[in-house]
Amino acid sequence: MNKNTLIFLLLWLTFGSVTTFAQKENKDFEILKNLEIFSSVYKELHLNYVDEVKSGELIKTALDAMLRTLDPYTVYIPEAEIEDFKILTLGQYGGIGSTIHYRNGAVYISEPYKDFPAHKAGLLPGDKILKINGQDTKGKSTEDVSSLLKGQAGTSLELTIERIGVNKPLSFSMLRQEIKIDNVTFAGILKDQIAYIRLDGFTQDASKEFKDAFLKLKAEGIKGLIVDLRYNGGGLLNEAVNMVNMFVGKGLPVVSTKGKVEAKNHTFYTSDAPLDLDIPIVFLTSRGTASASEIFAGAMQDYDRAVIIGQRSFGKGLVQNVLPLDYNSQMKITVSKYYIPSGRCVQAIDYGHRDAEGKANKIPDSLRTAFKTKGGRSVYDGDGIEPEIELAEESYSNISASLLTKFLIFDFANEFKRNTPQIANPKDFIITDTLYANFITFLNDKEYGYETQSETLLKEMQRIAQEENYQENIQKELDALSLKLKDSKKEDLSKHKEEIRQLLKEEITSRYFFQKGRAEASLDGDKTVNKAIEVLTHPKEYQKLLSNTGR
């Protein structure tokens, strides 16, 4: 009897015997019956399918398809993807410490992290990765290259790269290192002694980073605090609890988890003395603010401890646990929903009910319930955290989007760095008119064409006119309008000058001061930050927003 036949016989015997044992419980029988069917299907594929079956890929496809019918956060994590999962949960991984991007069929270094292997070895933004440990990267995606760059800390790595201005490929040898991504990207004091902390994650030790940053700022006599949670996708629940504890009294509930297994239901309380009960605080949120970020902001809102400015948050009120599986694989599974102090759950999508096409829908407004903050203000469940002051999300102009996606601002920053050894600190560095003129000159031989919405509509009008046989009568007018649109586009570099200046400032600053410099440079002209400063410097307005009459 060969090995495969023996395996299938054992599976059949196992399922058969257990099925006989479990027939008293219809539900258990249904589970085991379907497991046996799955086993039978796979056996027949293995024995009879015309081509060789790749077992690992086939089973993973089946697992992924099964889990997709639940929610997006319940996933199977094979051993090969554990490093990527560590980045999300712990904020660390074994690698060289650099972001990368795909462009024109190749993968490039985007931004090395300060003091990590890529930076120490001398890799620069714009370096084209040709080989990794002798393996050609041609035709590989960013995911493929990322997998090759990652590995166990302490293992050696050799990169062959192509660099602008250097005739021959360059080789760099380095050791992979445990890369720890900072949760607090930037902390500093803005105008009027208003402090600012940008929090980009809730990985391990996030609360310690936040506490250290806050205490350092507090020692400088700050009068208010801005906590920037925009596009913070969350992370570890306990880190959010620890942060809430810094600003509300000891022994208060922060978040409760409720799921199927009653023994796992738990309420998390503040356990330490707070750092500050009085300092005015503003949270900045966006549609990308999710999970632990919503616990932090939502609990502070429920205790009337902070004003929230920006956009309604994402609405992820689900909690996941990571369970170990055989062969070093893992499973992240949604085990409960979380509820913040007012009693509300911010979960916006009802994955338990789907339409005829299998799509999960948002919880309708008619089913949303009102809850009360500590001071009696009405807040609602079912659709994220609603700000006290809602601002429209800023978007880029067509020309700015084109300059970014075609990497022209990126390339200009690289050229500027090659020719300029140092610049002023991020706060004081400005894009002068001369420097902006240099950028326009740089664009002279570059392609950055884009189609405006007006041009798209004009094309559609031309198509419809042709279908309805009106084109001959109105073609002159259409051509004239097309020419006017092209002429208007030529003025876009001037019309959107301030926006493009800001993008140039952020990109250039990052070449000298890395991620921290980019974050600090991004504050210049940030309308949401400026609104937060305005609120914090007007105590009456701040208090009104936190009162029953404020909304």
Catalytic residues: 291, 302, 316
**Does residue 159 contact residue 129 with C-beta atoms inside 8 Å?**
yes
List the end-to-end C-alpha distance of the chain, in Å, as a whole number.
76
**Does residue 196 contact residue 252 with C-beta atoms inside 8 Å?**
no
Structure tokens at 112: 């090395």
**Does residue 42 contact residue 57 with C-beta atoms inside 8 Å?**
no
Distance CA 94, CA 152 (A): 5
Q: Is 550 helix (H, G, I), strand (E, B) or coil?
A: coil
Residue in 342, 281, 280 with CA at minimum distance from that of residue 317: 342
Distance CA 151, CA 465 (A): 59
Angle at 265 between CA 259 and CA 271, to 5 degrees: 140
Distance CA 222, CA 373 (A): 27
Distance CA 514, CA 506 (A): 10
Distance CA 429, CA 511 (A): 13
Residue in 198, 236, 207, 239 with CA at minimum distance from that of residue 89: 236
